[in-house]
């Protein structure tokens, strides 16, 4: 174990099982450890490093902003957050924006907004229906929203007001809807819970149901947004528009940021009802603007669709060779490979030894979420390493 890793064990709360490598530098889709070894990065900061590491347009925007104005508080108008809000609104189906610092915070705010809407328009309705296997963040309320027992059990009792129902079943949502329901909150494609793709017509049926019931439809696009699944926002692929959408992760290519977007009719906060000290911070927003502008101007989402298909077909081709691969699924550059046994960690380590970083999604599954700027050549390199790594498993 390296010096840094020993210090980490001494000083850190052990909330995460880290892969035993200390990263010190990144460029594009490559990172380097403290011994100078290079790795192809298919973890991408957990779907955060959208333009890769230290992309020049992001680095330049951050440098200029830290030399101009780092922070002021939201007592004042600042330009980077207004520019980013305008770009988001002009390129989505939503009308208004609130900035925070993380995904969980964005989702908390979205639920607060839905509850506020419930108080104003739905006779005080305050419950939010979410799906099993969803993941919406680590705050207490978002743990309650996330339909996964492993995140909930250590922290009971959980905040009330969340009903977790079967995923991919509009009937389950209908059955759970009561006069107390103010919203349904879903990930268009479940990320953390397994890279689960919605069944045909599910999201459209949920949208219709929300309209019929007069409740809000919240889409958590924290993992799927900003080009990750092959369109700027995943909702575009399913013919639906949410009333509220949350973003974070890839929005600023690595700087901490979160955002709530809402249609005008759902944008019901009034001054003092919500807030954040760092939310809309000029540096994070400058990075966000540079990232989003680059994604839009260079049709990064279209490229993700093509390279994502190429990666998915390469992963599929490994199936006949390795009978223990049971499934390859996902969209764009959010893909998973599932095995019939718990070998994911061994594959992660075998890849690491060969210079490829991949994420263990579950004990029996890997997740691939490289920077969106990756090309076919790097995909070929990753597939060759993965092939070799899988060959070491008996
Ligand atoms: C869909 C989704 N929502 C919310 C979150 C929480 O985001 P954060 O870790 O920034 O709080 C995540 C993180 O993985 C996520 O994938």
Distance CA 213, CA 207 (A): 10
- Ligand 1: nearest atom to the Cα of 104: 11
- Ligand 1: nearest atom to the Cα of 46: 14
Backbone angles phi, psi at 81, to 5 degrees: -70, -30
Residue having the nearest C-alpha atom to atom 8 of ligand 1:
103
Tokens representing 358 are 């991949």
17-74 pLDDT, tens digit per residue, is 999 999 999 999 999 999 999 999 999 999 999 999 999 999 999 999 999 999 999 9
Q: Give, for ligand 1, the residue of 43, 48, 101, 104 to mutate: max count of ligand atoms closer than 8 Å to Cβ.
A: 104
**What pLDDT is attached to residue 17?**
92
> Mind telling me the catalytic residues?
135, 220, 249
**What pLDDT is attached to residue 110?**
99
- Ligand 1: nearest atom to the Cα of 249: 10
Give residue 222 CA to ligand 1 midpoint distance, Å. Answer: 6
**What pLDDT is attached to residue 1?**
79
**What pLDDT is attached to residue 4?**
95
What lines the ligand 1 site, CB under 6 Å? Answer: 102-104, 107, 135-137, 187, 191-192, 220, 222-223, 248
Backbone angles phi, psi at 244, to 5 degrees: -135, 140
Distance CA 295, CA 309 (A): 19
Give residue 347 CA to ligand 1 midpoint distance, Å. Answer: 25
Task: Output the pTM of the full model.
Answer: 0.98
**What pLDDT is attached to residue 314?**
98
Q: Give, for ligand 1, the residue of 48, 136, 219 to mutate: max count of ligand atoms closer than 8 Å to Cβ.
A: 136
Residue having the nearest C-alpha atom to atom 13 of ligand 1:
137
117-144 pLDDT, tens digit per residue, is 999 999 999 999 999 999 999 999 999 9
Q: Is the per-residue pLDDT at 333 higher than 90?
A: yes
Instruction: Give the model's confidence band at 394: pLDDT under 50 very low, under 70 low, under 90 confident, else very high.
Output: confident
Whether 4 and 342 have beta carbons less than 8 Å apart is answered as no
Q: Give, for ligand 1, the residue of 133, 192, 229 to mutate: max count of ligand atoms closer than 8 Å to Cβ.
A: 192
Question: Looking at residues 346-363, what average pLDDT do you find?
Answer: 98
Give residue 74 CA to ligand 1 midpoint distance, Å. Answer: 24
Question: Looking at residues 223-229, what average pLDDT do you find?
Answer: 98
Write down the mean pLDDT value for the chain.
98
Q: Give, for ligand 1, the residue of 102, 249, 276, 284 to mutate: max count of ligand atoms closer than 8 Å to Cβ.
A: 249
Distance CA 356, CA 389 (A): 10
Give residue 163 CA to ligand 1 midpoint distance, Å. Answer: 19
Give residue 104 CA to ligand 1 midpoint distance, Å. Answer: 6
Q: Is the per-residue pLDDT at 335 higher than 90?
A: yes
- Ligand 1: nearest atom to the Cα of 187: 1
Question: Looking at residues 324-340, what average pLDDT do you find?
Answer: 98
Give residue 353 CA to ligand 1 midpoint distance, Å. Answer: 28
Which positions ≥6 away from 93 have C-beta within 8 Å? Answer: 235, 241, 242, 263
Distance CA 207, CA 210 (A): 5
Give residue 137 CA to ligand 1 midpoint distance, Å. Answer: 5
Distance CA 338, CA 282 (A): 41
- Ligand 1: nearest atom to the Cα of 105: 11
| Helices assigned H by DSSP within the chain | 3-11, 44-47, 56-66, 79-90, 103-121, 140-145, 149-152, 170-176, 202-213, 282-297, 300-318, 344-353, 376-391
- Residue 138: helix, strand or coil by DSSP? coil
Closest CA to 330 of 368, 371, 370: 368
**What pLDDT is attached to residue 210?**
98
């Amino acid at each position: 174990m390296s010096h840094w890793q020993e210090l980490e064990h001494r000083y850190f709360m052990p909330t995460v099982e880290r892969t035993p490598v200390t990263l010190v530098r990144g460029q594009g889709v490559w990172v380097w450890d403290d011994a100078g070894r290079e790795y192809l990065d298919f973890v991408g900061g957990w779907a955060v490093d959208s333009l890769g590491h230290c992309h020049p347009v992001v680095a330049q925007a951050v440098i200029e902003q830290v030399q101009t104005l780092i922070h002021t508080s939201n007592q004042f108008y600042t330009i980077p957050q207004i520019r980013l809000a305008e770009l988001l609104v002009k390129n989505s189906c939503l009308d208004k924006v609130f900035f925070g610092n993380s995904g969980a915070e964005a989702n908390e705010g979205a639920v607060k907004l839905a509850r506020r809407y419930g108080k104003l328009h739905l006779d005080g309705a305050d419950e939010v229906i979410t799906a099993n296997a969803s993941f919406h963040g680590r705050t207490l309320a978002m743990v309650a929203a996330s339909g996964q027992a492993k995140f909930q059990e250590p922290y009971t009792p959980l905040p009330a007001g969340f009903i977790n129902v079967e995923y991919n079943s509009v009937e389950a949502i209908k059955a759970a809807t009561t006069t107390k329901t103010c919203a349904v909150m879903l990930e268009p494609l479940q990320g953390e819970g397994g890279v689960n793709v919605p069944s045909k017509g599910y999201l459209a049926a949920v949208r219709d149901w929300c309209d019929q019931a007069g409740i809000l439809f919240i889409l958590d696009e924290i993992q799927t947004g900003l080009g990750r699944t092959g369109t700027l926002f995943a909702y575009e692929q399913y013919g639906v528009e949410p009333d509220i959408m949350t973003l974070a992760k890839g929005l600023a290519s690595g700087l901490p940021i979160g955002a709530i977007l809402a249609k005008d009719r759902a944008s019901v906060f009034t001054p003092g009802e919500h807030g954040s000290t760092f939310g809309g911070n000029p540096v994070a927003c400058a990075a966000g603007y540079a990232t989003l502008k680059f994604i839009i101007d260079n049709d990064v989402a279209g490229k993700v669709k093509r390279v994502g298909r190429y990666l998915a077909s390469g992963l599929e081709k490994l199936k006949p060779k390795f009978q223990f691969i049971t499934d390859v699924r996902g969209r764009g550059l959010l893909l998973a490979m599932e095995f019939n046994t718990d070998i994911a960690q061994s594959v992660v380590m075998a890849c690491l030894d060969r210079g490829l970083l991949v994420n263990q999604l579950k004990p029996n599954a890997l997740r691939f979420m490289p920077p969106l700027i990756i090309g076919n050549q790097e995909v070929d390199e990753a597939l060759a390493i993965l092939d070799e790594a899988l060959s070491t498993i008996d």
